Structure 1
Amino acid sequence: MRWRKSHDAPMEDEDPYWKSFVDIMSALLVLFILASVVLILQLMEKSAQFDAKVSQLQKAEEVRRTILDEAVKKLQQRGIKVEVSENHTVLRIPNELLGFDTGAFELLPRYQQTALEIGEVINQVVSRDDRVNYLDTIFIEGHTDNRPYPGFMGKGNWGLSTFRAISLWQFWSSALPEEQRLNRMSNQDGDPLFSVSGYGETRPVNAKQVSENDFRENRRIDIRFTIRRPASADYEGVRELLGGATK
């Protein structure tokens, strides 16, 4: 029997170092993909939370505008002409509707029916549906013109404007039917929805104040509607996450 010598050389084993390197790189790639997926999911979640906050804020703005528009329309139907501020946040009640005399803060009997109807309408438009949930505070603000007033133990126009706002609030609290009283309302934090304040001559709607008409425009009661906004911590949390994702 003839033996034939094989000329085929045996294959060398693969380089173990190269194999280990490939395994490590594959593992790192998997980890990178997993980390990327986790980061993307976190960003999507935070983005959704942020979008929800923005949507909530937009809804609150819409509710406030609706409240003011409805209030103006309902009062006009009753022959009561009020105004809305340019930024659509304030219902403005001219002094002629409430009849506060110069230096006086008492709501005279002949103006009480008009004041009562204004309170009724405010109750109607605020308490409808879930609108209260979008409001933070409704301020009843007293304002005067810039002519000096020496009364109120030296408090002048500050005191006068504050007492006028208080008089209107106290009238509503006693004259409105119990189920319509504004002091029964609270915001989502459980705090009273309404607040009363006076600004004297510091926030004029007409800064010129030369003619009697100029003075008249500044004598008023403003009903200022402020809306609920996402807490600063909510914004900060989103900002930190988004900022950390770019580092």
Structure 2
Amino acid sequence: MSEQHDLLEDEGAGYLISVADMMSGLLLVFIITLVAFILNFQDAIQKQEKVTETQKSIVRKLTNREQIRKQLLLEIQSVLESQDIIVELDTEHGVLRLTEQAVLFNSSEVTLNESSKTNLEIISMVMSSILPCYAANPPDNSLCVHKTEFKGTLDSVFVEGHTDNVPMNSWRYKDNWDLSAQRAITAYRHMMNASTLSEMANTSGQPIFSVSGYGEGRPVVGHAHTEPTNDPVNRRIDIRFIMSPPSLTEAQRSIVEAGAR
């Protein structure tokens, strides 16, 4: 009887030892898994911090480009006003608006009167004295010596044509969209003929200046008429400035791509 009792105790002790060993093993696995999780978590945090810092850097560069554009527009406006040419600015969207006091189109017409031609020539000369320093191929002269940080910041300049909302009644143009594009082309060609603006290039080696037409689709705020209205405010030319996006180093690009995974 004693031997049987001793046998049962040995079997029970062996069972407890097996359970204890199993629990120890599970605990060890748990600890290893927890350590691995903590290390991966710390690594993820470090990567995210790098991505966040890179993103902040990009935002700062974008904000700086917006500030550069605002200063550029204000400088052009100031010089034009000294020449008695009144323009309006939309610094948020980078638009220099040539009001009807600067450039006037008669209804359904693309022809420029002598006053508008003169003003466009002055506008062209003013931009020719300022904008090249913002191109990727600035001239090698004293004008840009103190503006080297602006090199390559200007990507595109759109000469935009607009119309009022009176339906087109001329056989020469299909509709207001066609009319607005022709107005933009007319203004563009007159400015290019009076300057060297066409020689400006962006960082991709492409011409900076181009044209676009919007018909009646983008009226001036407060001039969105529900009825056809012969409105000279909307028969206008806008000049829109687009800045180049900030470039990323290979290291910054790798960090951003890694963070997006």
Residue type at the aligned position of 1:159 = D
* Alignment match, 1:167: 186
The 8 Å contact of residues 152 and 159 in structure 1, kept in 2 or not, is answered as: no
The residue type paired with residue 226 of structure 1 is I
- Aligned equivalents of 2:57 and 2:129: distance in 1? 28
Unaligned runs of 5+ in 1: 1-14
- How far residue 140 of structure 1 moved from its aligned partner, in angstroms, is 0.7
1:207 to 224, 238, 243: 224
Which of 201, 210, 219 aligns to 1:186? It is: 201
Aligned AA for 1:57?
L
Give the Å deviation of 1:220. 1.0
- Is 1:66 the counterpart of 2:71? The answer is yes
Specify the alignment match of 1:6 in structure 2: none
The equivalent of 1:11 in structure 2 is none
For 1:224, the equivalent position in structure 2 comes to 240
> What per-residue deviation string (whole Å, max 9, x for no partner) do you get for residues 72-95 of structure 1?
111111111111137452111023
Residues paired across the two proteins, number: 221
Q: Which of 41, 49, 64 lines up with 1:44 in the alignment?
A: 49
SS at match of 2:121: helix
Matched with 2:95 is 90
**1:204: Cα distance to partner?**
1.2
TM-score by length of 2: 0.70
Task: Map 1:49-198; keep pairs closer than 5 Å.
Answer: 49-85=54-90, 87-128=92-133, 129=147, 130-131=149-150, 133-151=152-170, 153-176=172-195, 181-198=196-213
Please tell me the root mean square deviation across aligned C-alpha atoms, in Å: 3.4
Tell me, in whole angstroms, the C-alpha distance in 2 between the residues paired with 1:30 and 1:210: 72
Measured in 1, the distance between the counterparts of 2:87 and 2:182 equals 21
Identify if the C-alpha distance between structure 1 residues 204 and 115 changes in structure 2 by more than 3 Å, giving closer, same or farther.
same
Q: Deviations over 1:132-156 (max 9, x none)?
A: 6334422111112122332254513
How far residue 43 of structure 1 moved from its aligned partner, in angstroms, is 0.8
Distance 1:210 1:122, change over 3 A: farther
Cα offset, 1:164, TM superposition: 1.6
Displacement after TM superposition at 1:166 (Å): 0.7
How far apart are the structure 2 equivalents of 1:41 and 1:27? 21
Cα distance in 1 for partners of 2:124, 2:208 equals: 14
Structure 1 CA distance for aligned equivalents of residues 233 and 185 of structure 2: 20
Identity value in percent: 32
Deviation at 1:69, TM superposition (A): 1.2
State the secondary structure of the residue aligned to 2:156: strand
Aligned letter for 2:237?
A: I
* Deviation (angstroms), 1:20: 5.6
* Aligned counterparts of 1:108 and 1:154: Cα–Cα separation in 2: 19
Q: Give TM-score, length-normalised by structure 1.
A: 0.73
